[in-house]
């Protein structure tokens, strides 16, 4: 499914009491004051009934948001740590194929190599999506030389604002090599769009707290399939902190082997309640609506769009710097109004701008940003 197929909802009012969005960068994003405040509650012992109840509640809500019946591991570490966990647990003596179409899919490759795995890197043009046919071809070629334990792909390349059809990719992998695991980074898309993990057959779907979930940085989450857990049991060198087998044992008691980030877990609990109060589907629709509005604003103003057509991200839009704006100066002007957007990433620095519309961002926030950009650039 491409995102143009998603129904968008009509423009709605910003919720009463929500402060104006400040950060239009693709993470960290603004955190609601009630969620920030939740972190100031006194500490409790992490082996207490109170903590285990908090953990169990968050686990259930996360499973709903990942659309999975299996499990979600929660780590006191950022998304890159979950990359490492996924690779250490899911890649054994076989190889891993990393599809690289931007900076964060390159991270999958760097982590695979860093963990000492035999990694095959497939480079694809930035600003384009990874397509099922490209995956099928690379996988078939690699299989001629032996088993492939896993493939990695980024659902939403934050560096370019491109989404890849990971459900179709997983189906392509299954049809060629049913035992190959599909490891997906959904760091900057999770909770901003529907990712039905079980239906799509994703073995790992990982994310960070500081993007569309609109939490402070410091937590990461991964939906892990039974197949991935079974594979982990056969893989040596899983380490300790990231060992799925150990995490599973503690998950059964609604806790983690190491001391959890209790304050962040409290914030998570409040934020999950807020997400379900808005409604998960309404939240996804809001993100798609904001993405559509950002794209149409850019086009109306004569600016180009960088993402391959049909694969534009629902959470971050990459706009060509068609008129050669000084992005640092633009951000200096925006800072005066307590707003910030992002420069292009890597080679696109100065050539593109990225506007994130995720988490707590609403229609009125975007219009305020657009008004300020128009005032500074005279477009």
Ligand X SMILES: Cc1ncc(COP(=O)(O)O)c(C=O)c1O
Q: How far is the CB of 221 from ligand X (least distance, A)?
A: 11
* DSSP helix/strand/coil, 100: strand
Q: How far is the CB of 377 from ligand X (least distance, A)?
A: 26
Record the tokens describing residue 311, joined without a space.
């694969």
Q: How far is the CB of 316 from ligand X (least distance, A)?
A: 8
Measured at the CA of 272, the angle between CA 48 and CA 19, to 5 degrees, comes to: 120
Q: How far is the CB of 131 from ligand X (least distance, A)?
A: 18
Nearer to ligand X, 184 or 319 (CB): 184
The DSSP annotation for 208-268 comes to ETTSTT---SS-EEEEE-HHHHHHHTT-S---STT-HHHHHHHHTTTS-SSPP-HHHHHHH
Nearer to ligand X, 227 or 354 (CB): 354
Q: How far is the CB of 27 from ligand X (least distance, A)?
A: 5
Burial of 333 (0-12, 13-18, 19+ CB in 10 A): middle
Record the tokens describing residue 34, joined without a space.
């009630």
Q: How far is the CB of 134 from ligand X (least distance, A)?
A: 19
Q: How far is the CB of 188 from ligand X (least distance, A)?
A: 4
Nearer to ligand X, 177 or 210 (CB): 210
Nearer to ligand X, 154 or 352 (CB): 154
Where on the chain is the footprint of ligand X (CB under 6 A)? 27, 78-80, 104, 107, 154, 158, 185, 187-188, 208
- Secondary structure string (H, E, C) spanning 109-165: HHHHHHCCCCEEEEECCCCCCCCHHHHHHHHHHHHCCCCEEEEEEECEECCCCEECC
Looking at residue 18, the DSSP 8-state letter turns out to be P
Instruction: Give backbone dihedrals phi and psi of 13, rounded to 5 degrees, phi first.
Output: -70, 145
Rg, Å, the chain Cα set: 20
Nearer to ligand X, 3 or 104 (CB): 104
- Report the alpha-carbon distance of residue 107 to residue 185 in Å, rounded: 10
Nearer to ligand X, 85 or 319 (CB): 85
Nearer to ligand X, 65 or 142 (CB): 65
């Amino acid at each position: 499914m491409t995102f143009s197929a998603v129904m968008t909802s009509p423009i709605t009012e910003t919720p009463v009491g929500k402060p104006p969005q400040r950060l239009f960068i693709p993470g960290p994003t603004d955190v609601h004051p009630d969620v920030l405040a939740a972190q100031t509650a006194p500490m409790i012992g992490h082996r207490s009934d109170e903590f285990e109840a908090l953990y169990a509640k968050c686990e259930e809500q996360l499973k709903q948001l990942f659309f999975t019946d299996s499990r979600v591991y929660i780590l006191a570490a950022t998304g890159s740590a979950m990359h490492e966990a996924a690779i250490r647990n899911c890649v054994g003596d076989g190889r891993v194929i990393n599809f690289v179409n931007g900076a964060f899919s390159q991270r999958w490759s760097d982590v695979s190599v860093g963990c000492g795995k035999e990694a095959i890197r497939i480079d694809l043009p930035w600003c384009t999506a990874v397509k099922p046919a490209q995956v099928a071809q690379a996988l078939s070629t690699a299989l001629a030389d032996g088993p492939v334990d896993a493939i990695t792909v980024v659902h939403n390349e934050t560096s370019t604002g491109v989404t890849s059809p990971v459900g179709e990719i997983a189906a392509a992998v299954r049809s060629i090599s049913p035992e190959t695991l599909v490891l997906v980074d959904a760091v900057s898309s999770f909770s901003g769009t529907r990712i039905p993990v079980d239906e799509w057959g994703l073995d790992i779907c990982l994310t960070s707290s500081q993007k569309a979930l609109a939490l402070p940085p410091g937590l990461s989450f991964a939906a892990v399939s039974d197949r991935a857990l079974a594979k982990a049991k056969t893989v040596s060198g899983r380490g300790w902190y990231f060992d799925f087998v150990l995490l599973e044992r503690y998950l059964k008691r609604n806790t983690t082997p190491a001391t959890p980030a209790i304050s962040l877990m409290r914030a998570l609990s409040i934020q999950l309640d807020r997400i379900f109060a808005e409604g998960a589907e309404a939240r996804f629709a809001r993100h798609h609506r904001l993405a559509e509005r950002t794209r149409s604003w850019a086009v109306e103003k004569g600016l180009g769009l960088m993402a391959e057509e049909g694969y534009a991200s629902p959470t971050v839009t990459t706009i060509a710097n068609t008129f050669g704006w000084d992005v640092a100066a633009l951000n200096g002007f925006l800072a005066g109004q307590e707003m910030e957007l992002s420069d292009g990433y890597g080679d696109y620095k100065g050539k593109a701008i990225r506007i994130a519309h995720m988490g707590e961002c609403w229609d009125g926030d975007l219009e305020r940003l657009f008004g300020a950009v128009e005032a500074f650039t005279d477009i």
